[in-house]
A and B are shown apart, each in its own frame.
Chain A
Amino acid sequence: SQQGEEDPQALSIQEGENATMNCSYKTSINNLQWYRQNSGRGLVHLILIRSNEREKHSGRLRVTLDTSKKSSSLLITASRAADTASYFCATDAVFYSGAGSYQLTFGKGTKLSVIP
């Protein structure tokens, strides 16, 4: 199954700076989701963007989607120490029939460290 790939693998920034993480994927999708994971805990959903959307905002989060480049980015503005976590993108897939898959495939994540 296809898998999203996050970039960079790790990112370290100062509190107050913006953090940008990227996700690339291989095949057509219905939607792309971003999740956050605090060390060893369950993932928490952040935002879902559909394939016909180009940009979405939620608080300090901004997600873009470029289906022509098969890529997405997650921007966290004015970062805080509490944003320290791993961030994952997840995608479904669209079959040749046009039907969506029932699998949500995750990338390996970007580990973000926000230094106070």
Chain B
Amino acid sequence: EAQVTQNPRYLITVTGKKLTVTCSQNMNHEYMSWYRQDPGLGLRQIYYSMNVEVTDKGDVPEGYKVSRKEKRNFPLILESPSPNQTSLYFCASSFQRALNSPLHFGNGTRLTVT
């Protein structure tokens, strides 16, 4: 089944403790992206990747890192999480770099930083 898989689904952590949210897609998509969703602010893009070893900042990249060493994986790293990073995170992928094709979303990771 074609899908984008995020793990974990829920995560509670403390300020400053490094964490990684994994994202994997099995559709051989070139484009992958991370979004965060907050009430009243909608979805905001954190980072995106157009292909292996090619990443770029979105609208809210501060406090996050990503890597794209393999086509299928696009992990989101929070080196030192803070409470303002408490949010619902979504990974998404798309077949074409030009974004003329739909994004496929994972089921989300709900992160709480205390």
Interface size classification for chain B:
20 to 34
Interface string of B32-69 (1 = CB under 8 A from A): 01010000111111001010000010110000000000
Contacts of B108 in A (CB 8 A): 40-42
**A109 to B99 Cα, complex, angstroms:** 20
Contacts of B110 in A (CB 8 A): 40
Are B102's CB and A102's CB within 8 A? no
Kindly state whether residue B31 has any CB partner on chain A within 8 Å.
yes
Kindly state whether residue A104 has any CB partner on chain B within 8 Å.
yes
Are A88's CB and B56's CB within 8 A? no
Residue among B99, B107, B108 facing the most chain A CB atoms (10 A cut-off): B99
Smallest distance from the beta carbon of A113 to chain B beta carbons, Å? 17
Q: Which residue of A lies closest to B50 (CB)?
A: A102
**A31 to B99 Cα, complex, angstroms:** 8
Kindly state whether residue B104 has any CB partner on chain A within 8 Å.
yes
Are B105's CB and A108's CB within 8 A? no
Contact of A50 among B88, B100, B106 (CB under 8 A): B100
11 examples of A-B residue contacts, CB within 8 angstroms: A41-B108, A44-B105, A48-B101, A50-B100, A88-B42, A88-B43, A102-B50, A106-B35, A106-B43, A108-B41, A109-B42
User: B interface vs A, CB < 8 Å?
Assistant: 4, 31, 33, 35, 40-45, 48, 50, 56, 58-59, 88, 90, 92, 97-108, 110
Other A-B contacts than A43-B103, A101-B99, A102-B97, 14 sampled, CB-CB below 8 A, are A30-B99, A40-B88, A40-B108, A41-B108, A42-B90, A42-B92, A45-B103, A88-B42, A90-B103, A102-B56, A103-B59, A104-B103, A108-B41, A109-B42
User: A interface vs B, CB < 8 Å?
Assistant: 1, 3, 30-31, 33, 35, 40-45, 48, 50, 88, 90, 92, 100-109
